Structure 1
Amino acid sequence: MKQLIWAFGRHLNRTTENLAHVMAEEFHYEIIPFSTEVSRLRRIPAMVASVRMIRGKLKAFSSIHPWTKKQVHLPSELENIPTMVIMGSQIIGNGPHFFYQDLDVSSILRDREQGKPTFMYDDVPLSLLQKLNDMQFHEYRQAQAIFTMSDWVRTSIIKSGAIKSQDVHTVHAGSNLGAHFSSNPYAEKNLAAQTLVFVGRDFQRKGGNILLRAWPKVLQELPLAQLKIIGPYREDIGQELSPSIHVLGPLSNQQIIHEMSQCTGLVIPSLWEPYGIAFLEAMSMGLPVIGTRHMAMPEFIVPGTGYLPKPYEVDELAEAMIRLLTQTHTTWKMSRNAFLHAQAFQWSQVAAKMDRVLTSIMKN
């Protein structure tokens, strides 16, 4: 059996677990989980080095500081085993290293230098981002291959010049809902519901405030329309809401499946979205989707599966929502297209693409 270190950050998230499961069950890898988390005590030097006063509060960036990354090493008995780093780019042993990424540091740095919002990275000092970018460049040079969720980030990584284009492979991602539908479950009741659903805990980054500004324009045309918001708590939204808006908070996968099954479409007008697995999950249930023409989203929200207004454009977003809820013949066709398109985004297919590259490299 082929051994593979499965290196992840603080927590085993659903992407990390689902891909590891498929690699083990379908492609017969012995997956060896390894957390790259560094204890708070060992991060003290990085805390001291990175602390800043931001908006009247002290804030440190020890978890992403280069010094912290350098503290992570595989134990001696594992250090020569091939290593897959999930959503990161660390060299932690002597064996071949592979990275699976939805985002690279140079993309963050580029947006910051251009004055664009990067949300969770807005407060990171530019000097620290530059150090991380330099470090990632050297990590890329040592990697045997890099797997990316999107062509968008693949292009950015190739532009760095650290690794040859033939060694960077777009493999995409899959649904994390834990449900597979052999046929499109979308039905007449979905069209009749006149209900859209938003899914995402990071409400502001995912365009939640833009959505709330656009929603009254929808109600002017469709007074009975409803909007469900899954992910944030009511207090996270921080403004008065129309009775037509229902904040459901964080839900389990089964609850999300149930709520989506009652809706007409998904809307996440994200302002900064490296990928967006929630779109794939909705499409796997036949829901047409509304995203934005930004970053990786146009790669999988292809024509005929949904709408892509410009980010921040309230009127364009409102028009897209109205069209999805009123042009039922088009929406029905979009449902069929979305469901069929989603079949190309499965963890089994991601793992198969990875396995071909890994097997070729291991043989050589």
Structure 2
Amino acid sequence: MTRKIDLYCEGDCWDPKLWSATPYELATTLKKMGLLHNTCNVNPLENESFITHYLSKLSYLHIDKKGVCTLQDSIHPRRYRVCEKKALEFYESNPKPDSIITIGHLAIFHKTPYFTLQDLDTNTVLKWRKEKKTTYMLDRIPISILEKNQKIQQEVYENAAGIFVSSEWVRKNICSYISEPRKVFTTGIGHRYSTVELTEEILRERFENPVLLFIGKEGIRKGVDAVIEAFQQIKNEFKNMKLRIVTNQDLLPKQVKKSINRTPEVELYSNISSKELSDMYMSSSLFVMPSRFEPFGKVFFEAMAFGLPVIGANHCAMPEFITNDYNGYTSSVNSEEIAERVKQVFESFKTYKKLSKNAISVSEKYREENVVAEMLSIIDRYSS
């Protein structure tokens, strides 16, 4: 087994708020196993002043029909080259590991086998954009910038010993354009929660007093508007039904905020702690996030770890881990259809118990320890 692994990330690997805690959980798990050698933050602006951060944004300003915006730094080829330089400087000045894991396409390491963990590839975004589909996250970035980034990303992929991806949806797309499809592996992205023991009493309480839970920083991309409309259609059919929404309120359109404010059964939260998040999962009945564009959706697995059946959209990666009438349901991003799916979940206590039990089973596969074990077995096979 590989004994020394370096972990590279555009940010502090030990920051639990970074990228849904994925770097933190990966670093923590590798450290517990005695395999973590070094971590490297390739962010060139780490520890710089506010003014330096602000001035750095100027080079990424973009003007289009909607006005002025700042392009996502990590997508811009210029940003990649700066991160690459910092990564290689760290690599050359430190003892060499047996293998490297990078979170995202950060650099090419010619002397050490490296594996890149990717939740979404640029080519998938390009396909959506060229088909005039909306991603709700990368729609203002010029196609020319995305194409340059895609070429860089593909070069990193071609030189990697392996590519870990979040879903089959992403894997199949990457396999369609790289020269060695065999080195692309669907490992998923792990979550930190141990599965909970659910008593009959807890399940009965969840069933009889339904609480729907939505979690998604980018509310509209994640389908919060459709969830609110669905809830308003059916809330009076259930006793004490509530909807909890955890999102970035600043990103919500005024119309959505008004809809929330005039519905007293809807609770709105932002910036909750990890303890509050755990409590929210535990005291909810059903997780609903019919995302319009979703390469994975880590929160689905977190929710399932607490025994929550899940409702997601019937496209992108979600049908891979949501099986109708097994651990939840998929739906189009349509409020009427979502409402019908919610009613199916609470059709009977027997149905609810079955969905809850199976949700826990699905979640177990994607616990951080299990995902890392799969990654390590691949690293051991492909590091030579």
**Does the CA-based 8 Å contact 1:54-1:123 persist in structure 2?**
no
State the Cα distance separating 1:218 from its structure 2 match. Answer: 1.1
Partner-residue secondary structure (3-state), 1:308: strand
Answering whether residue 306 of structure 2 is matched by residue 306 of structure 1, we say: no
Partners of 2:194 and 2:176 in 1: CA distance: 37
Partner residue, 2:238: 222
Find 1:67's aligned residue among 78, 93, 98. Answer: 78
Residue 171 of structure 2 is aligned to residue 157 of structure 1: no
Looking at structure 2, the residues matched to 69 and 121 of structure 1 have their Cα atoms a distance apart, in angstroms, of 17
Q: Which residue of 2 aligns with 1:17?
A: 24
2:115–2:164 contact (8 Å) kept in structure 1? yes
- Deviation of 1:226 after TM superposition, in Å, equals 1.0
Q: Match of 1:238?
A: 257
CA contact (8 A) 2:217 2:247 kept: yes
Identity of counterpart residues, as a percentage? Answer: 25
TM-score, length-scaled by structure 2: 0.85
Write the letter of the residue equivalent to 2:257: G
**Is structure 2 residue 139 aligned with structure 1 residue 139?**
no
Distance 1:235 1:136, change over 3 A: closer
How many angstroms does 1:79 deviate by? 8.2
2:204, 2:113 → 1: CA distance? 52
| Cα distance in 2, alignment partners of residues 218 and 136 from structure 1 | 45
**Do the aligned partners of 1:199 and 1:231 also contact (CA within 8 Å) in 2?**
yes
Corresponding residue of 1:3: 4
Contact 1:6 1:84 in 2 (8 A): yes
Flag the 1:30–1:226 CA change in 2: closer, same or farther, 3 A: closer
Seen in structure 2, the aligned counterparts of structure 1 residues 77 and 93 have a Cα distance that, compared at 3 Å, is farther
Task: Give the structure 2 partner of residue 180 of structure 1.
Answer: 194
- 1:29 is aligned to 35
CA pair 60-234 structure 1, distance change in 2 beyond 3 A: closer
Q: Is the 8 A contact 1:46 1:65 kept in 2?
A: no
Q: Distance in 1 between matches of 2:168 and 2:27?
A: 22
Q: Quick one: which amino acid aligns to residue 6 of structure 2?
A: I
Structure 1 residues 31, 118: closer, same or farther in 2, change over 3 A?
Answer: farther
Distance in 2, Cα, partners of 1:234 & 1:123? 19
- SS at structure 2 position matched to 1:51: strand
How many residues align? The count is 358
User: Which amino acid is 2:25 matched to?
Assistant: N
Q: Which residue number in structure 2 is paired with residue 284 of structure 1?
A: 305
Return 5+ residue gaps in structure 1 as ranges.
none
Residues 253-272 of structure 1, C-alpha deviations (whole Å, 9 max, x = no match): 22122122222211111111
Shift of 1:53: 3.9
Shift of the 139–180 alpha-carbon distance from structure 1 to 2, 3 Å rule, reads: same
| Aligned ranges 1:1-364 → 2 under 5 Å | 2-12=3-13, 13=18, 14-26=21-33, 28-39=34-45, 48=59, 51-71=62-82, 72-73=84-85, 74-75=88-89, 76-78=92-94, 80-81=96-97, 82-91=99-108, 94-160=111-177, 162-176=178-192, 179-181=193-195, 183-184=197-198, 186-222=202-238, 224-233=240-249, 236=252, 237-241=256-260, 242-303=263-324, 304-310=326-332, 312-362=333-383, 364=384
> CA offsets, 1:109-168, max 9 Å, x none?
0001111111120110011011111111111111111111211111111011x2422211
Provide closer, same or farther for how the CA distance between residues 118 and 255 of structure 1 changes in structure 2, counting only shifts above 3 A. same
Q: Does the Cα contact within 8 Å between 2:219 and 2:251 map onto a contact in 1?
A: no
- Pair 1:327–1:36, CA change in 2 (3 A): same
| Cα distance in 2 between the residues matched to 1:234 and 1:87 | 27
Deviation at 1:46, TM superposition (A): 9.0
1:301 shift after superposition = 1.3
C-alpha contact (below 8 Å) 1:43/1:63 kept by paired residues: no
**1:87–1:138: structure 2 CA closer, same or farther, 3 Å change rule?**
closer
Q: Which amino acid aligns with 2:29?
A: V
Q: Is the 8 A contact 2:25 2:191 kept in 1?
A: no
**Secondary structure in structure 1 of the residue aligned to 2:379:** helix
Tell me the alpha carbon deviations over residues 189-219 of structure 1, each in whole angstroms, 9 at most, x when there is no partner.
Answer: 1111121111122111110011122222112
2:5 counterpart letter in structure 1? L
Question: Counterpart of 2:189 in structure 1: which amino acid?
Answer: A
Amino acid at match of 2:195: F
Gaps in structure 2 of 5+ consecutive residues:
none
SS of the equivalent of 2:117 reads: strand
Q: Name the SS for the 2:343 alignment partner.
A: helix
Structure 1 distance, partners of 2:360, 2:288, is 16
Distance between the aligned counterparts of 2:284 and 2:235, measured in 1? 16
Give the secondary structure class of the aligned counterpart of 2:221. coil
What is the distance in 1 between the residues matched to 2:57 and 2:81?
11
Change (3 A) 1:65 1:229: same
